[in-house]
Amino acid sequence: MAANETSPAPRGAPDGKKARDRAAEFLLRRHRFRLAESLPWLIAIAVYFLFPDRLTFGSQVLIMILFALSLDMILGYAGIVTLGHAAFFGVGAYTVGLMAYHWGWSEPISGLFAAAIIAAIVGFISGWFLLRYHGLTLLMLTLATAIMILETGNFRSDITGGYDGLPGLIFDPIFGVFDYDLYGHTNYVYSLVVLAILFYFVRRIVYSPFGQALTGIRENVGRMHATGSPVHMRLVTAYTIAAAIAGMAGALFTQTNAYVTLTVFDFELSAEVMVMLILGGTGRLYGAFAGAAVYMVLEDHLSKLSPTFWQFGIGLLLLVTVLFARRGILGLVEDLAHIRFGRFGEHMPSLPRPAAWTCEQWRGLGIAALDGALIGLVVGFAVNLDRAELLLSWFTDYPLSVIAWAGCGALVVVAINVVYYMFTSRPAVEGRSR
Amino acid sequence: MPQIANIAVSILFDGLAYAMFLFITSVGLSVTMGLMGFVNLAHGAFAMAGGYFVVSLTRSYGVDFIPSLIIAAVLAALVSVRFERRLYRRFYRAGELDQVLLTIGLAFMAIATFTYFYGPIPKSVPLPDWLRGDVNLGFRNFPTYRAFVIVLGAVLVAVLWYAFERTSIGAKIRAAVDNRRMAESVGINVDRLFTLTFALGSALAALGGGLAIQLFGLTPYFAVLYLVLFLIVVSVGGLGSLQGTLLAALVLGVVDTGGKYLISEAGGFFIYVMTVIILLIKPAGFYGRE
């Protein structure tokens, strides 16, 4: 890292090379294009040829990738925890929508820029005020700001169309040449090109000294203040850029769907994009790609099965990610690569197998069983009457059901715990110190 | 003139009932957040679960409304303690992003589970006769149920105030909110204290959820729909402060009700504007510590 500049050369460093040179070399090498980076783009191009009839969905995935990428800039790199990022997506989406609906401005490229500018203005103003705060206050302020914009839109539903939205928007062909088609071929290519350009832009920012300063703010604000870094200005700049990119993602959303409703401001969207990013891995450029793609494909399949299952699935995904894979899918891939290529133990904590079960583990298992029984009881209690037909009858017979449910819950939890203890004896999560 | 006075009284009365609901439900969240700095977005899920416990108890097991409220609160407390011990405990020292993700995940899972078992349609419960209809307070009639919520809220405020200010456990909680390390070093078991307040907070949330059934209707989305309001009450009032939570609940309850009465199209606009303004001026809330 850049901090090496002043620190003495660590042991084992090759002789004759000063720390300064090595740091410079690292910084020069760091942003060089790596071969593996072409993979997501090759996949995106392959999808165009392999699934020509699913490209409408494909362009939605690309838009969400762009949206998640903008969140990664502020959440992953600058460490700003926001619950209202959908505000900028919505502002962008409505800029394009309103311009097309009321003024008949249907040229897409200029619309995209207009959306970016308006979203950037909103991002700059809100960021200027909000980014002085942190913790719960910041969470609440970002959330409240997003809802405020939503409620304003709802208040003036004569202009915005409210929750019914602005239907039947028509946009000009891109560059006056490429018209939209039923299968979304143009949309897909259009989204992909916009994503590629903006990704290059974000990549440049992340690897610039400015990006380095953002990471510094995330890791240690006090120290950045001490080095004289204009922390607030840096954060506001990053927030504004992220808002502009999110606004462009929103504009693409409106243009490719040809309609927009107030749901683009919803808290659910803010939460969803955060889940995507976390799932892929924060603070890494391609986390947004992996997360958004996996999330959208899963959603596409599972929500067809049952929206309720899918919602449970999101929750479970979040829980599992936070508990076991905090660095996201890409972090997992990295860990696996380390095992595969013989550098086991460098990144991964080793997994000791306990020789014998200690008293404490037995006790833990007992408590776990009681927990399972309690969960079983609660579930049984809820099921007993309302959805009895769904389950085996002896699970719903009143006196027997209590025991049956408790027993089943206990068994399930014990089984999970046995499997878990077989692989590891460490706690699932080490608390990070603040 | 009497017309205006009438509307003002209605707004005050409904706003007060709403405020009491907000207070009952979010006071536990405020204290647990103040104690551990833990952002618990699953608090609304406990309230929602409490509401559905009441629905099941009254409609399926034939328990009366009032006893079922109490049973639901106890059940929610039991369940929440297990969640606290098993899951939350690991995240006290984690970043708030981790806490947000964990608890949002739990809330989603709870919504899905309850949608599966109870369906997405709003539920209602049979009320006892003495809670139905109107009550005459001399100059006009008020819905009995809302009056009941207000009275119950007032009683709870008094009880909680006494417990907080006059008992040794209350003193310990206040000490731990003020300075956790100091409290630990004089021998207060903050961990156990936290489990206790967590259970109590969840019980109160479940009670609030039970009361909400007849006020707003209960759907599984209750868990996130009102969560924003609870969080606003908590952050505007100041973490870990009883009087702050009460003040915030009263202000927000009355302003929101008034806004919805007078300019119904604006919806919840006013409370969000107010929240932003208050937090910009006082980032730690009314009674919070900077």
Tell me the chain A residues in contact with residue B75 when contact means C-beta distances shorter than 8 Å.
378
**Chain-centroid distance, C-alpha A200:** 19
Give a yes or no: residue B52 inside a domain. yes
Cβ-Cβ contacts under 8 Å, B107 against chain A: 315
Query: Per the structure block, which two tokens stand in for A286?
Result: 């391609």
Query: Do the Cβ atoms of A94 and A118 come closer than 8 Å?
Result: no
Kindly identify which residue of chain A lies nearest to residue B101, measuring between CA atoms: A318
Question: What is the residue type of A107?
Answer: E
pLDDT digits (tens, 9 = 90+) for A66-108: 999 999 999 888 888 888 899 999 999 988 888 888 787 777 8
pLDDT at A417: 67
pLDDT above 60 (res A285): yes
| pTM score, whole prediction | 0.79
Confidence (pLDDT) at A368: 73
**Residues with Cβ within 8 Å of residue A76, at least 6 apart in sequence:** A277, A282, A283, A284, A287
Instruction: Specify the higher pLDDT residue, A377 or B28.
Output: B28
Tell me how far the alpha carbon of residue B65 is from its chain's centroid. Answer: 19
- Tokens standing for A159? 């202009």
Q: Which residues of B touch A318 (CB under 8 A)?
A: 101-102, 104-105, 108
Number of Cβ pairs closer than 8 Å across A and B? 164
Range with top average pLDDT, A333-337, A429-433, B10-14 = B10-14
pLDDT, position A420: 62
- B119 contacts in chain A (CB < 8 Å): 386
pLDDT for A4: 43
d(CA B153, CA B28): 14
For residue A220, the model assigns a pLDDT of 85
**In Å, what is the CA distance from B187 to each residue of A37, A64, B190?**
55, 51, 9
Average pLDDT over residues B7-20: 88
The mean pLDDT of chain A is: 76
What share of chain B has pLDDT > 70, as a percent?
98
Interface test with A, best of B30, B78, B235, B281 (most A CBs within 10 A): B235
A315 touches B109 (CB < 8 A): yes
A145–B275 C-beta distance less than 8 A: no
Q: For position A337, what pLDDT does the model report?
A: 65
Query: Which residues make Cβ contacts (< 8 Å) with residue A262, sequence separation at least 6?
Result: A90, A150, A153, A154, A160, A161, A162, A163, A165
- Computed on alpha carbons and rounded to an integer, the radius of gyration of chain A in Å comes to 25
B residues 79..108 contacting A (CB < 8 A): 79, 82, 85-86, 90-98, 100-102, 104-108
In a domain, B71, yes or no: yes
Q: Lowest-confidence range among A77-81, A340-344, B37-41, B102-106?
A: A340-344
Whole-angstrom distance, CA of residue A269 vs CA of residue A260 = 14
Smallest CA–CA distance, residue A389 to chain B, in Å, is 11
Q: pLDDT band at A180, cuts 50/70/90? A: low
Residue B159 lies in a domain: yes
Rounded to whole angstroms, the Cα distance separating B173 from B167 reads: 10
CB A165 within 8 A of CB A260: yes
Tell me which of A386, A398, A401, A414 to substitute to probe the interface with B (most B C-beta atoms closer than 10 Å).
Answer: A386
Contacts of A157 in chain B (CB under 8 A): 265
Q: CA–CA separation, B261 vs B281, rounded Å?
A: 27
* Tens digit of each residue's pLDDT (9 = 90 or more) over A106-140: 778 888 899 999 999 999 999 998 888 877 788 88
Chain B segment 170-209 residues within 8 A of A by beta carbon are none
More confidently predicted of A351 and B39 = B39
Residues of B in contact with A148 (CB under 8 A): 269, 272-273, 276
Does A5 score more than 60 pLDDT?
Answer: no
Q: What is the pLDDT of residues A321-364, one digit of tens each?
A: 887 777 778 877 776 666 555 444 444 444 444 444 566 666 76
- Residue B253: inside a domain, yes or no? no
Tell me the mean pLDDT in the region A236-249: 93
pLDDT cut 90: percent of chain A above it: 12
Q: Mean per-residue pLDDT for A44-53?
A: 79
Phi, psi of B143 (to 5 degrees): -60, 130
- Choose the mutation target among B276, B282, B290 for the interface with A, i.e. most A CBs under 10 Å: B276
Dihedral sign (CA A11, A15, A21, A25): negative
Tell me which amino acid residue A36 is. Answer: A
Domain carrying residue B57 = 2-134+142-221
Quote the CA–CA distance of B290 and B229 in Å, as a whole number: 22
pLDDT at A106 (0 to 100) = 78
Q: How many CA atoms lie within 13 A of A370 on its CB side?
A: 12
Residue at B41 is within a domain: yes
Which pLDDT belongs to residue A310? 80
B102–A378: do the CB atoms touch at under 8 Å? no
Q: Cβ neighbours of residue A252 under 8 Å, at least 6 residues apart? A: A59, A62, A63, A66, A112, A190, A191, A194
**A75 to chain B, closest Cα gap in Å:** 9
- The three-class DSSP label of residue B189 is coil
Q: How many Cβ atoms are within 10 Å of A432's Cβ, its own excluded?
A: 11
Name which of A152-156, A193-197, A283-287 the model is least confident about.
A152-156
For residues A372 and A380, is the Cβ–Cβ distance under 8 A? no
In the numeric block, the tokens 């009932």 are attached to B17
Domain-located, residue B282: no
Which residues, 6 or more positions from A104, have their beta carbon under 8 angstroms from its beta carbon?
Answer: none
CA–CA min distance A178, chain B (Å): 41
Report d(CA B173, CA A278) in Å as an integer: 35
* A65, A194 contact by CB (below 8 A): no
List the structure tokens of B187: 């021998």
The tally of domains found in chain B comes to: 1
Residue B112 lies in a domain: yes
More confident residue, B170 or A49: B170
Is residue B59 domain-resident?
yes
C-beta separation of A375 from B49 below 8 A: no
User: Do residue A384 and residue B56 have CB atoms under 8 angstroms apart?
Assistant: yes
pLDDT at B42 over 60: yes
3-class SS shares of chain B: helix, strand, coil, % to 5: 75, 5, 20
pLDDT at residue A425, as a whole number: 47
Average pLDDT, chain B: 86
Paired tokens of A209: 């000294």
Q: List, for residues B252-280, the tens digit of each pLDDT value.
A: 888 888 888 877 766 677 888 888 888 88
Please indicate whether, in this complex, the C-beta atoms of B280 and A383 are within 8 angstroms of each other: no
Smallest CA-to-CA distance from A306 within A406, A388, A390, A401 is with A390
Region B62-70: mean pLDDT is 87
Helix (H, G, I), strand (E, B) or coil at A109: helix
Structure tokens at A315: 């929750």
DSSP letters, B221-235, are THHHHTHHHHHHHHH
Nearest C-alpha in B relative to A371: B82
Q: Among A312, A384, A428, whose Cβ lies nearest the Cβ of B90?
A: A428
Please say if the pLDDT value at position B235 is more than 90: no
A364 burial type by CB count under 10 A (0-12 exposed, 13-18 middle, 19+ buried): middle
Q: How confident is the model at residue B202, as a pLDDT?
A: 92
End-to-end CA distance of chain A: 22
Contact criterion met (CB < 8 Å) for B232 and A144: yes
Cβ-defined contact of A140 to B75 (cutoff 8 Å): no
Would strands B134-136 and B141-143 be described as parallel, antiparallel, or unpaired?
antiparallel
Q: Do the Cβ atoms of B105 and A316 come within 8 Å?
A: yes
Q: Is B78 on the interface with A (CB under 8 A)?
A: yes
Q: Which residue of chain B comes nearest to A273, CA vs CA?
A: B101
With beta carbons under 8 A apart, name residues in chain A contacting B266.
151, 155
Q: Which helix (H) or strand (E) holds A198?
A: helix A185-207
Task: Render pLDDT for A198-208 as a digit per residue (tens, 0 to 9).
Answer: 999 998 888 88
Strand, coil or helix: what is A232?
helix
